[in-house]
Amino acid sequence: MREDLPLSTISRSIEGFIGADEGDRTKIPFLPTPQGKGVLPDDHPLNTSSARSAAIIGADVVLLVGARLNWILHFGEPPKWSPGVRIAQIDISPEELGRGTADPTLSIHGDITSVITQLKTYLSDYCHASSSWSNTLSTSAAQNLAIARAKASTPTSPLTYHRTFTLIRSTLESLSPGGAENLVYVSEGANTMDISRSIFTVSQPRQRLDAGTYATMGVGLGYAIAAEMAYNHTHEASPSPSSPSIRKRIISLEGDSALGFSLPEIETMSRYRLPIIIFVINNGGVYHGISDNTPAWGTDWWDMDKEGKRRDILLASTALGFETEYDVVARGLGGRGWRVVDEEGLIGAVQGAWEHRDGPSVVNIIVASGAGGKLEFGWLGKGKGKRSGGKISIPKLPKPSSHGNMYHDGV
């Protein structure tokens, strides 16, 4: 087995103990876990986030620094990882060492401050030479970035995740006095969290929060309130006459399902006049909705004979309401709300939300439902005899007949 394909995987717990100069000196590529983003800048040349799959499958030696070998890293198991990969782990919790495929004989139980300090000494003369490994990662990153740029730059109707996030990011950064560095992102919801992670890049620690290790939905609005208080309302955040600070704006990116778990927190934001901006990515479902994204679908299928629909048509368990009016709910809870269906409306809503400083703003963005797609989860294949992952089909409801009644097509 070769050991010339190293990769370090880092989490937020190494904040303050590793800097860009360390990566530049050793030339070891690194992959931050979601909560580790910003410990080193997303645009660091050794950051392999844009080549994540290639980095994971290609590495034969991995140093896991403060990160957990859980579902986020596919438990270190094939087929995502190479069958022969050797994983060394540094963690403060001894029960984490050797979990999954990590090699306990290579792992260290200790405080990361102490371990990294010692590791720096041993690596002082180490420099991973440029090789085919570096070329593999850079080629994969270039291909993935080209695909992402195409999705982000192509106008769409209805709106899509990539295009929506790109417009939100560019508009916010143009409005923020300190640019991207004074924007703090919170995200939750399957597609919302996964796709936004690659579009809203960060360069500092604690600039982005998501559902975390246990993928807990419903924490987003609470996190946003906590971030608002920590950055803008504590003694440490208060500007001094000698060093005035620029207020950080808290941005919460919410999937429509995830928002439902803690939506009443908008009232808390209103009560305390917290100027948090909430973007709801409304596709009418978990992962996928069931509509064809036309007004006629809402009129003929959702608004008419709702009880009949539920009796005669099997709705997927992942289905939510059609174009739920979260903007109206926001106004009812004391905030401001915008409903968005196109690019012009989205840019205007972002600008309007930015100007509102006396409470929360909710931008309800109607995006393509993704009806008819398949959901696939690796963890569904963890059971006995199932190693290829599990799939869930999302039915696409039939179109209404000319006289408005429903018919069946085996759904």
Q: What is the pLDDT of residues 279-312, one digit of tens each?
A: 999 999 998 888 888 877 777 666 665 555 555 5
CATH code of the domain containing 99: 3.40.50.1220
Nearest one of 252, 377, 364, 278 to 318, comparing CA atoms: 377
Share of the chain above pLDDT 70, in %: 79
Sequence-separated (6 or more) residues with CB below 8 Å from residue 96: 68, 69, 89
Q: Do 12 and 77 belong to one domain?
A: yes
Helices (H) and strands (E) in the chain, counts: 13, 13
Sequence-separated (6 or more) residues with CB below 8 Å from residue 229: none
Judge whether residue 339 has pLDDT over 90. yes
Domain-located, residue 87: yes
Q: Do 242 and 112 belong to one domain?
A: no
Last residue of a domain, one of 109, 142, 175: 142
CA distances to 151, 220, 318 from 256, rounded to whole Å, are 22, 12, 11
Q: Do 134 and 252 belong to one domain?
A: no
Judge whether residue 406 has pLDDT over 50. no
Higher pLDDT, residue 403 or 10? 10
Q: What is the pLDDT of residues 192-250, one digit of tens each?
A: 999 999 999 998 888 999 887 778 899 999 999 999 999 999 866 655 555 556 789 99
Domain-located, residue 404: no
Residue listed under structure tokens 């030696």 = 61
Number of folded domains in the chain? 2
**Domain housing 176:** 154-284+323-366
* CA separation for the pair 308, 305 (Å, rounded): 5
* CA separation for the pair 282, 375 (Å, rounded): 18
Nearest one of 137, 133, 61 to 101, comparing CA atoms: 61
Token output for 60: 């034969």
